[in-house]
Amino acid sequence: MAARVMQRHVGMTNPVAGERAPEFSLPKDAENHVLRRSELAGKPAVLVFYPADWSPVCGDQLAIYNELRDELGRHNAQLVGISVDGVWCHRAFREHRKFWFPLLSDFEPKGEVARRYGVYRAADGIAERALFVLRPDGVIAWRYVSPVNVNPGADGILDALEQLHAEAA
Amino acid sequence: MWLKMPIDPQRDHIRGPSNAPLQLVEYGDFQCPYCGRAYYEVQEVERRLRGQLQYVFRHFPLSEIHPLAVPAAETSEAAAAQGRFWEMYSMLYENQEALERPYLLRYARALGLDIAAVDAALDNHLYLPRIREDFNSGVRSGVNGTPCFFINGRRHDGAWDADSLLKTLERARQQQQPTQRATPRHL
């Protein structure tokens, strides 16, 4: 277990709340368009790292976020999913589940962005089930890493966004 | 995670005695096949805990993947307005493969409901705010998929077959007992 934990942290940074969210530039579709972290600036952003497309638990987790378009819109918040799956896999998954938000491919170099955010499970080759809420200025307001087999739901995200809203008011 | 919106006899759909020591709240979606299976498991749980359990159903339609879930939920609320929620709830879960509008109206007719009222409720989305209220209360309580159960207010994680639910309900009952026994000693 100790070896596994150490291995997880090799080459990883581990940004926490109050620190600047690491930059990234990842493919957001199969047409080679990319989304940069800097493009999310100006509005709150929710980054959802998850282990894999198609696993039933992920489906449930993202399916709930998919229902929260209005709620997130009220907070002016942008939502992106991030996993190590490739762009074609993401495309099929998005179309099948009718997701309105983009899924980014942390595919090559594999898991590099998850590592930067301190949420890569090197032993398994997948991202943790991790949530980050970013302030409009790109600073991490809240982060949560769920046990990988537990779907964290949306309550923590909405709490963090409400907190941001209260601070801004 | 805990149920944030307490059971409210004024608004909730409740089956079972109001003084029951055990409460099972389900957040469900009429088009979700897992909820369709849970429907039979819940019946078994109710049968085995008769008189000791209150069962509450709240709406949690995942409308993007289940486009017929909201109209089905609206139909159940229109039936509730005519005092027939549980009959419609059963009708919908037992006919999950047919939830398009003509079927919904056929079920309403079979239950002897005022069809014009049901039709108007569906057209005007009369009960959508209530369904949204259920949904939002679920999100804030940590509902993370359907079906999602709360047992005496606490989210039940893991399997939801009748035996698993009964095991957790039994544990909830045992957790209640020490405080009930302790009360007389403190008096």
The whole-number pLDDT of residue A10 equals: 53
Q: pLDDT tens for residues A98-154?
A: 999 999 999 999 999 999 999 999 999 999 999 999 999 999 999 999 998 888 999
Q: Does B81 touch chain A (CB under 8 A)?
A: no
CB < 8 Å from B in window 3-42 of A: none
SS3 content of chain B, % helix, strand, coil (to 5): 50, 15, 35
Q: Does B160 touch chain A (CB under 8 A)?
A: no
Contact check, Cβ <8 Å, B139/A99: no
d(CA B23, CA B92): 23
The whole-number pLDDT of residue A2 equals: 43
The whole-number pLDDT of residue A150 equals: 86
- CA B185 to chain A, closest CA, distance in angstroms equals 40
Q: Does A154 touch chain B (CB under 8 A)?
A: yes
Looking at the domain assignment, is residue B4 inside a domain? no
pLDDT-based confidence at B183, cuts 50/70/90?
A: very low
Of A64, A66, A100, the CB nearest to B139: A64
Chain A residues close to B135, C-beta within 8 Å: 67
Contact check, Cβ <8 Å, B64/A100: yes
Looking at the domain assignment, is residue B3 inside a domain? no
The whole-number pLDDT of residue B85 equals: 98
- CA A99 to chain B, closest CA, distance in angstroms equals 8
The whole-number pLDDT of residue B186 equals: 46
The whole-number pLDDT of residue B119 equals: 98
Contact check, Cβ <8 Å, B62/A153: no
Looking at the domain assignment, is residue B7 inside a domain? no
CATH number, residue A35: 3.40.30.10
Rounded to the nearest integer, the mean pLDDT of chain A is 91
Domain total for chain B?
A: 1
The whole-number pLDDT of residue B176 equals: 82
The whole-number pLDDT of residue A11 equals: 62
The whole-number average pLDDT for the span B28-44 is: 97
The whole-number average pLDDT for the span B96-121 is: 98
Q: What number is the ipTM of this complex? A: 0.84
Instruction: Identify the DSSP state of A39.
Output: G
pLDDT-based confidence at A28, cuts 50/70/90?
A: very high
Domain total for chain A?
A: 1
Chain A residues close to B27, C-beta within 8 Å: none
- CA A94 to chain B, closest CA, distance in angstroms equals 11
The whole-number average pLDDT for the span B19-43 is: 97
The whole-number average pLDDT for the span B37-45 is: 98
Of B62, B64, B142, the CB nearest to A153: B142
Give the three-state DSSP class for A129: strand
- CA A74 to chain B, closest CA, distance in angstroms equals 14
The whole-number average pLDDT for the span B54-83 is: 97
The whole-number pLDDT of residue A46 equals: 98
The whole-number average pLDDT for the span B129-152 is: 96
Q: Which domain holds residue B68?
A: 13-186
Q: Angle at the Cα of B134 (from B132 to B137), degrees rounded to 5?
A: 105
CATH number, residue B107: 3.40.30.10
Looking at the domain assignment, is residue B39 inside a domain? yes
- CA B186 to chain A, closest CA, distance in angstroms equals 38
Above 50 in pLDDT, residue A93?
A: yes
| Distances, alpha carbon A73 to alpha carbons A161, B55, B108, in Å | 11, 34, 36
Above 50 in pLDDT, residue A7?
A: no
Q: pLDDT tens for residues A39-77?
A: 999 999 999 999 999 977 655 789 999 999 999 999 999
Chain A residues close to B143, C-beta within 8 Å: 64, 153
Residue in chain A closest to B4 (alpha carbons) equals A155
The whole-number pLDDT of residue A59 equals: 58
